[in-house]
């Protein structure tokens, strides 16, 4: 095989004569088998750039963000890409990150969903919707993507209303399927013999989780009721088995305290599921059934996909399946296993 072909396959970046996908995959597999590790910095310095991956992630201290950072760091290290993380939670933070991208040599950018502009409806609306993207964040994203295609976005559709965002929606991204997560909770409750179904949400709306849950039950002709304190009090005397899905684990942990006050046991008459699988969910007693978002796997995949962007490949939208962790609040074990409706990490 010609040396120039091997060189173009091993060195990412759009080139005048790209290597066929099949040939590139063969060369990469052979290089891996032989233990070859490219000098990323040298390759990018030749083009007057740097191999660094620039990442914007939320400034929020919980497992979801930590696992995402771990995943990106692990995959970037394995691929010999230095990585810089920027943490923020406001539109100012996001725009500052985008301005930094214009000044600092780098290979690509990985961006978590930018902060929203406003909520489309009040948080406790019967028909919750997602907030819209702030105009200046939209401008920065589109400007970067038009200048260079080496951009990967994360978790847009679960945080922002993309109905009018056709150009933003066409940018490569990874989504964790929240509709699927809601469906898995409803299917689990049905399998457990629940005949009454409830849903609770807090100040932050998660309409995709709600839609997944409602859609399964609608197909069975079942109506979901909003959860109230009076309904909770009645559950102790009810003869039917009830399934309660709340939109986050934090809400579920609060609900466990309320149910204790009402002396209502979990796992028998009343089944409860949260969403997110934050660290206390497995440690509290009773341990909480929940939907695990595989953000560590998302971080690994993000680095793999952004390398394809660097190489000029089209990747579109990639989706990851969440996992249902069945624990004591819905009749499972203390730690709970992965129900095989998703992919293992």
Q: Do domains 40-174+296-321 and 179-293+324-339 have the same CATH topology?
A: yes
63 pLDDT more than 70: yes
DSSP string over 111-174: EEPPPEEE-SS-TT-SS--PPEEPHHHHHHHHHHHHH-S-EEEES-TTTS--TT-HHHHTS-EE
Per the prediction, the chain carries an average pLDDT of 86
pLDDT digits (tens, 9 = 90+) for 143-191: 999 999 999 999 999 999 998 899 999 999 999 999 999 999 999 999 9
pLDDT at 122: 47
For residue 42, what are the contacts with CB-CB under 8 A and spacing of at least 6? none
Q: Mean pLDDT over residues 292-310, rounded?
A: 96
Confidence category of residue 39, pLDDT binned at 50, 70, 90: low
Q: Mean pLDDT over residues 269-282, rounded?
A: 94
343 pLDDT more than 50: no
| Strand 270-273 to 225-226 pairing | unpaired
pLDDT digits (tens, 9 = 90+) for 106-124: 999 999 999 876 544 444 4
Domain-wise residue ranges, the chain: 1-38, 40-174+296-321, 179-293+324-339
- Lowest-confidence pick of 4-18, 26-40, 101-115: 4-18
Q: Mean pLDDT over residues 198-214, rounded?
A: 91
Phi, psi of 187 (to 5 degrees): -60, -40
pLDDT at 123: 46
Which CATH class, in words, describes the domain spanning 179-293+324-339?
Answer: alpha beta
**Quick one: fold of 40-174+296-321?**
Rossmann fold (3.40.50)
Q: Mean pLDDT over residues 21-37, rounded?
A: 73
Please report where in the chains the tokens 């962790």 appear, as a residue: 325
Q: Mean pLDDT over residues 230-239, rounded?
A: 80
| Strand 290-292 to 323-326 pairing | antiparallel
């Amino acid at each position: 095989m010609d040396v120039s072909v091997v060189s173009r396959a091993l060195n990412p970046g759009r080139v005048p004569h790209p290597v066929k996908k099949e040939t590139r995959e063969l060369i990469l597999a052979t290089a891996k088998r032989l233990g070859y590790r490219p000098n990323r910095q040298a390759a990018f310095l030749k083009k007057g750039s740097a191999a660094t991956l620039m990442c914007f992630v939320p400034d929020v201290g919980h497992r979801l963000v930590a696992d995402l950072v771990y995943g990106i760091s692990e995959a970037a290290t394995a691929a010999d890409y230095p990585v810089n993380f920027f943490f923020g939670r406001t539109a100012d933070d996001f725009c500052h990150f985008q301005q930094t991208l214009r000044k600092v040599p780098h290979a690509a950018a990985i961006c978590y969903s930018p902060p929203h502009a406003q909520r489309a409806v009040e948080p406790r609306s019967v028909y919750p919707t997602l907030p819209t993207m702030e105009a200046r964040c939209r401008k920065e994203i589109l400007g970067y993507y038009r200048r260079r295609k080496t951009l990967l976005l994360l978790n847009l559709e679960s945080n922002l209303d993309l109905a009018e965002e056709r150009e933003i929606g066409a940018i490569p991204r990874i989504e964790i399927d929240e509709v699927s997560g809601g469906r898995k909770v409803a299917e689990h409750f049905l399998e457990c013999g629940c005949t009454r179904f409830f849903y609770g949400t807090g100040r932050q709306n998660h309409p995709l989780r709600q839609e997944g849950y409602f859609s399964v039950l609608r197909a069975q002709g079942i109506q979901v009721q909003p959860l109230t304190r009076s309904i909770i009090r009645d559950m102790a005397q009810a003869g039917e088995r009830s399934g309660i899905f709340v939109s986050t684990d934090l809400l579920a942990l609060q609900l466990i305290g309320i149910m204790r006050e009402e002396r209502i046991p979990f796992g028998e008459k009343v089944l409860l599921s949260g969403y997110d699988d934050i660290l206390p969910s497995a440690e509290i007693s009773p341990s909480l059934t929940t939907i695990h978002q595989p953000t560590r796997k998302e971080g690994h995949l993000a680095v793999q996909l952004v390398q394809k962007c660097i190489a000029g490949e089209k990747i579109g939208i990639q989706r990851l399946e969440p996992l249902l962790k069945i624990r004591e609040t819905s009749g499972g074990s203390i730690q709970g296993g992965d129900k095989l409706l998703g992919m293992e990490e």
